[in-house]
Amino acid sequence: MKTLHSFALAALSVAILSACDKAPEQKIQSTMSETQSVTEQTQVTAPVAKKVPHEMTIHEDTRIDNYYWMRDDERKDPAVIAHLNAENTYTDAMLKHTETLQATLFEELKGRIQKDDDSVPTKSGDYYYSSQTRGDNEYPTYVRSLDAKGTEQQIILDVNELAKEHDYYAVTGLSVSPNGNLLAYGEDTVSRRIYTIWVKDLSTGKLLTDKLEGTDGDIVWANDNKTFYYIKKDLQTLLGYQVYRHTLGTPQAQDELVYEETNTSYYTGLGKSKDKQEIYIWHASTNASGVSVIDANDTKALPKRLIEREENLEYDIAKLGNIYYIVTNLNAVNFQLMTVHKDKAHDKANWQTLIPARDDIKLEGIDLFANHLVYKEREMGQSRVTIRNLTSGDEQQLSFNDSSYMIHAYGNNELDSDSLRVYYTSMTTPGTSYDIDLDSAEKTLLKQQKVVGDFNAENYASERLFITARDGVKVPVSLVYRKDKFKQDGSNPLLQYAYGSYGATMDPSFSSGRLSLLDRGFVFAIAHIRGSQMLGRPWYEDGKLLHKKNTFNDFVDVTKALVAQQYGASDNIFAMGGSAGGLLMGAVANQAPELYKGMVAAVPFVDVVTTMLDASLPLTTNEYGEWGNPNDKVYYEYMLSYSPYDQVSKQAYPNMLVTTGLHDSQVQYFEPAKWVAKLREFKTDDNKLVFKIDMEAGHGGASGRFKSLEDTALNYAFILDLAGIKK
């Protein structure tokens, strides 16, 4: 089901220490008296970064960034690497007492995962495709079969074999040619999300000579089985902006450029119609979207815009016969569904409403079948899926037992299928795959993710609350806890999570890892703050640009209300967020540090103004529609008023764990590195401030299904230790 927003960081340490005063946390003497013990001598001093004033002036305002020197685009500067290694050494020392707890948590997390696990096969063309994980393997093996039962499976790609020689490894964009003979895939061994495309002959198992570098990893095949389209990235900004046509057996240098995006506020993507007759180049900025169409049967065809792009006009298309079904915000804040004959689509006057816009219901996406339309809506924060018979017009809405849940369609590749494949989960229900009969709406259970161990869903409860924020708006909150551990007397520790940007909605879903917190008495809460689309498109609009502070205020107000309603202990509240959610953590830490005993900020976007003023950094120009362009004074001043790095002040801060990856392509490592250095300079408390840098990973953290659990174990051990839970 398509959506319009499917939319993203020791030994030489003495050389970089500054002579400035240490914050209380760091008041460990760097010289030892003769009477001090050997144990005391092993104490580690927090890295104190040197200060090199760097002036930045715009709009007659000058900012001094003392830690700007930490930016090293090549990631090779000895002083920078030494400082990051020193941070890791300090973090290891400060959290050494949690190593046993980390190990316990890691084994718990790993122990709940079914080692031998197969995905539910999905049909595409003549084959059924699925993935397998076995034993302690970190990566999946992709297989296919001529039937849904998996008879005579053929291995098409064993990622474990490919990953053997690499510290980090990721594949993306697996795409089989129309005749089923060739497999193209993207490979990233650095974690910068820059992929090399390879093509494998599935009859011989050998790679072709074709090697396409500097791409986003995804390809779309033309129907001749020897031509495909791919997107090349700008290696500085990491923006995918050029669409090339490649013919097998020819060098990349001879590839034909068929489209180049000149507007740096747009992302570029590729797709193909379900009937395989058209190839789509998707264009998407924060406030506008569109599509260009290429004939999949003509390897000389050039893309044609469906309509000219317009600011604030968003649309997405799906094709059935000669009719386009268009999900659009044309005259519809919460989107509507329109139809038009493909030959008349160039004029919006020809678009006809099929499902009209409604003020309180957001249309999120559709899926088309030969005789059925499936559409997904959201009302009062809850998604629902409806099946419409295109002949009779009769409709059936899917129903489930949970009061709050997440559902999405996947793997529906065939127009003539008589069933809809969906993935369903709630905060107490593990991920479940169903096939839904398109005529009767009857559900067939295909698989529910097994949680190894003594898990029983009946031991847990989930609630949905609406919290009134300071401006009177009601903010949805999803909660989960273990029934026999929850007292609602203000004694339970509570972890509150949120994201709140880009219109990304964090639906309530199951996490087997989260059980390690719930089983120790934690309440877990997702605050569906403004900046998402939980309550429709206006909910997003009210949490971006010059309304961004609503996001932070909502989070703080939810925390206060949960304490007031005794869901959590006032002295045992924790917060967690990553990426743009890390920005949230930074802003909240500046605004209301007294509310939180501890925070985890993962790959946090915290240096908002400086980053958004630098168009050479990855993704900056694409973000103007989300944060504003600080070259405009109005946006500059507003951003500056909440930017976590700029707003660090002399006050007490919560205990904090900050994480990043050296090769992060979304939020550059130097943002959290600078932020931690400045926090150390200004904070007036004795609380922990530790910074963990994965020197091999990027924005998504470590690769592999088990290795990444080490990050989760670290985060949880940090929180549990502060909560007084030692095992």
User: Quick check: is 699 catalytic?
Assistant: yes
Long-range CB contacts (within 8 A, 24+) of 287-291? 287/311, 287/312, 287/314, 287/625, 288/312, 288/313, 288/314, 289/4, 289/313, 289/314, 289/315, 289/316, 290/315, 291/315, 291/316, 291/317
Beta bridge partners of 219: 230
Question: How far, in Å, CA of 26 to CA of 23, rounded?
Answer: 5
Collect all residues with Cβ–Cβ distance below 8 Å to 240 and sequence separation of at least 6: 215, 216, 231, 232, 233, 234, 267, 268, 269
- Distance CA(288)–CA(285), nearest Å, equals 5
Rounded to 5 degrees, φ, ψ at 517 are -85, -45
Three-class HEC string of 152-192: CCEEEEEHHHHHCCCCCCEEEEEEECCCCCEEEEEEECCCC
Query: Smallest Cα–Cα separation from 663: which of 692, 700, 690?
Result: 700
HSE of 640, CA atoms in CB hemisphere, 13 A: 16
* Beta-carbon count within 10 A of 356 CB: 11
Candidates 426, 433, 699, 721; catalytic one: 699
Q: Which of 383, 404, 516, 579 is catalytic?
A: 579
Alpha-carbon torsion 499, 505, 510, 512, what sign?
negative
Q: Is 214 exposed, middle or buried (0-12, 13-18, 19+ CB in 10 A)?
A: middle
How distant, in Å, are the alpha carbons of 111, 119, 435, 519 from that of 141?
Answer: 21, 11, 24, 33
Token representation of residue 673: 């590195």
* Three-class DSSP category at 656: strand
372 in Cβ contact with 416 (< 8 Å): no
Q: How far is CA 378 from CA 63, 166, 312, 357, 458, in A?
A: 44, 42, 21, 12, 27
At 581, the amino acid letter reads G
Q: Rounded to an integer, what distance in angstroms lies between the CA atom of residue 327 and that of residue 340?
A: 12
Distance (Å, whole) CA 458 – CA 437: 29
How many Å apart are CA 199 and CA 176, to the nearest integer?
9
Contacts 24+ apart (CB under 8 A), 131-134: 133/705
List, in sequence order, the alpha helices (H) in 64-119: 78-94, 99-111
> What are the b/e assignments for 648-658, b being 16+ CB within 10 Å?
beeeebbbbbb
Quick check: is 255 catalytic? no
478 Cβ neighbours under 8 A, 6+ residues apart: 404, 427, 462, 463, 464, 508, 525, 526, 528
Phi and psi dihedrals of 107, rounded to 5?
-65, -35
- In terms of DSSP bridges, do strands 127-133 and 122-124 run parallel, antiparallel, or are they unpaired? antiparallel
Question: CA–CA separation, 54 vs 67, rounded Å?
Answer: 8
Under DSSP, is residue 710 helix (H, G, I), strand (E, B) or coil?
helix
Catalytic residue among 664, 694, 711, 721: 664
- 135-139-144-150 Cα dihedral, nearest 10 degrees: 20
Rounded-to-integer distance, Cα 717 and Cα 520, Å: 12
Q: So which residues are the catalytic ones?
A: 579, 664, 699
